Amino acid sequence: MNRKCGKNYRLRPTSGGRSKEIVKKIPGEKLMPRYRKKPIEVDAFQYTGDRMTLFEWGAQFDPPAGFGVLVEAEVPGVAPVIRTLVIRTLRGDMEISFGDYIVRGVAGEFFSCWPGNFEASHDLIPAAE
């Protein structure tokens, strides 16, 4: 396919689908759009190793968060060794690591978020007195 795309042209997605059209660049135009997160409030819980508190937090929602455990090995008569926790998300089961935040999103979905990412994009809302 022969495309007229170079220094003075760029590809722009068409409104109807996956095809693109070639348009002339506007002087000073940035090629990559920038976005700002909308100011929304989410429910979140930082996992610090206390599984029961995490399960109680997840059970308060309707529908409740789907947590599970992966065990190292099951030996009859011996307590199973829990290897890791998982949470059911829209994209499948996701492992939860120590320190991760479990977030309930705007559509009621649950997901795990690294502490650094969560703390960089969220502020704690003070409890109402």
Sort residue 23 into left (φ over 0), alpha (ψ -120 to 50) or beta.
beta
* Stretch 97-119: mean pLDDT: 90
Residue 64 lies in a domain: yes
Residue 100 pLDDT class (50, 70, 90 cuts): very high
Residue 22 lies in a domain: no
30 vs 108, residue with greater confidence: 108
66 vs 40, residue with greater confidence: 40
The answer on pLDDT for 2 being more than 50 is no
Residue 108 lies in a domain: yes
Residue 106 lies in a domain: yes
Least confident interval from 22-31, 46-55, 98-107: 22-31
**Residue 57: other Cβ atoms inside 10 A:** 19
Q: Do you find a cis peptide bond into 63, omega within 30 degrees of 0?
A: yes
Nearest to 70 by CA among 88, 58, 56, 86: 86
Distance (Å, rounded) from C-alpha 10 to C-alpha 5?
A: 6
Residue 27 lies in a domain: no
Hey, what are 20's tokens?
């693109």
- Residues near 107 by Cβ (< 8 Å), separated by ≥ 6? none
**Domain of residue 65, residue span:** 43-121
SS3 (DSSP) at 58: helix
Residue 129 pLDDT class (50, 70, 90 cuts): low
- What pLDDT score was predicted for residue 120? 92
As for how many domains the chain has, the answer is 1
